[in-house]
Amino acid sequence: MAASTRRDIEANIQRVSEYTRAMDLEREPIPGGAKFMAIEGLIATGLSQNIDHAKRLVDRSIETQVGTGELSYGDRNFYTSPCALATSVLEFYDRTGDERYLDAAERQVQYVLDAPRVGNGGISHNKDTPQLWVDSLYLMHPPIAQLGSALGEEELYDEAAEQILAHAEYLQDDATGLFRHIWTETPNDYPEGSFWGRGNGWAAAGILEVLEAIPNHHDRRDELLEIFHDHLETIVELQDECGYWWNVIDDDSTFLETSVTTIYAYVLRRGIDIGVVPGAYETATKRAFDAIGASINDDGVVTGATYVTTHDPNEQLTSEDVFSPSGYAQGWYLKTATYYLENDHLVAE
């Protein structure tokens, strides 16, 4: 297995950065996913042009924060989607100490804390009917824990952990550890019950980031680790020999998808480094990271990633409007490639 060269990775990061900065992210229809992830990827690179551009996007998200507290004009369909931007807002609070960033993050997080809940306390993702979505594990739970760190409020650590457990109660499959996409309270069923690839990646990344934010002595930490380990055990088994994962994780009749592969390349590598993922998964990280390098085209587009999913990701999405370029894939590549480069993982001179 050939390691990626430092020169190749740096060139990819430069091309992907340039393309991402040129994207019209203000018009992203899903600010809590695509726009947020593009911002996070730009920040992760540490490049001055990228940081400046990310700051403009974050400042604009605060300027367009609505009266309810929702960032970036809010979302008319979902409670949790804009909440992810609170993570980026807190990044600039850490960098600048400017209280307006902290205030904006507090207002956004408080909005989701006040949102309707299902019977076990899980915050509804959907505004029309009480539902739990796998998306929330990444879009909503980490910002709650991260705000807890910024404010020194342990009850926010508790809330983030409880939300993961509440969502896992209905979304995580007992037999496989995989996560279903959507559960609805009334009627008690799964309007979209497949093991959607990027959704599972979001679950893994969200749990990882909450584990990093909460104290090691937190009384729900072991439960979170059990959910995390059960999930990753199956994920590693389902990786295709080429290094990718499928759009529906357990269905090789669907297409190989870049964004989910990039997420797991990051989650597994970062998890090993901080001691929450078994070192035995090293081979899976190598296969994934080597595979995604070939997805970058000459324009800096991370190819082979879906922009949106239908409510049934088992459908073969083949029309051009659902594929790259996508803020999801651009951001996750920048975050993952920078992490591997900075930590000398799979990097050849």
What are the tokens at 38?
A: 């593009």
What is the rounded end-to-end Cα distance, in angstroms, of the chain?
15
Instruction: Determine the pLDDT at residue 1.
Output: 47
Give the length of the chain: 349
What are the tokens at 125?
A: 């993702």
Instruction: Determine the pLDDT at residue 253.
Output: 85
Distance CA 120, CA 40 (A): 31
What are the tokens at 228?
A: 């995390």
Q: Provide the residue type at 15 as one letter.
A: R
Instruction: Determine the pLDDT at residue 312.
Output: 57
Instruction: Determine the pLDDT at residue 348.
Output: 66
What are the tokens at 25?
A: 């992210």
CATH number for the domain spanning 268: value is: 1.50.10.10
Range of the domain at 328: 4-348
What residues does 131 pair with on adjacent strands?
A: 184
pLDDT tens, per residue, the chain with 349 residues: 455 789 999 999 999 999 999 998 887 666 667 899 999 999 999 999 999 999 999 999 999 999 999 999 999 899 988 999 999 999 999 999 999 999 999 999 999 999 999 999 999 999 999 999 999 999 999 999 999 999 999 999 999 999 999 999 999 999 999 999 999 999 999 998 999 999 999 999 999 999 999 999 999 999 999 999 999 999 999 999 999 999 999 999 888 999 999 999 999 999 999 999 999 999 999 999 999 999 999 999 999 988 766 555 555 544 445 667 889 999 999 999 999 999 999 776 6
Residue 331: φ, ψ to 5°: -65, -45
Distance CA 170, CA 161 (A): 15
Locus of tokens 């695509």: 34
Instruction: Determine the pLDDT at residue 26.
Output: 80
Return the axis-axis angle of helices 48-63 and 85-96, rounded to nearest 10°.
120
Distances 126 to 117, 182, 185, 335 between C-alpha atoms, Å: 10, 10, 11, 28
Tell which residue, 212, 250, 213, 208, has the closest CA to residue 229: 208
* DSSP-based helix, strand, coil % in the chain, nearest 5: 60, 10, 35
Model-level pTM? 0.95
Distance CA 241, CA 237 (A): 10
Tell which residue, 69, 75, 63, has the closest CA to residue 28: 75
Q: How many domains does the chain fold into?
A: 1
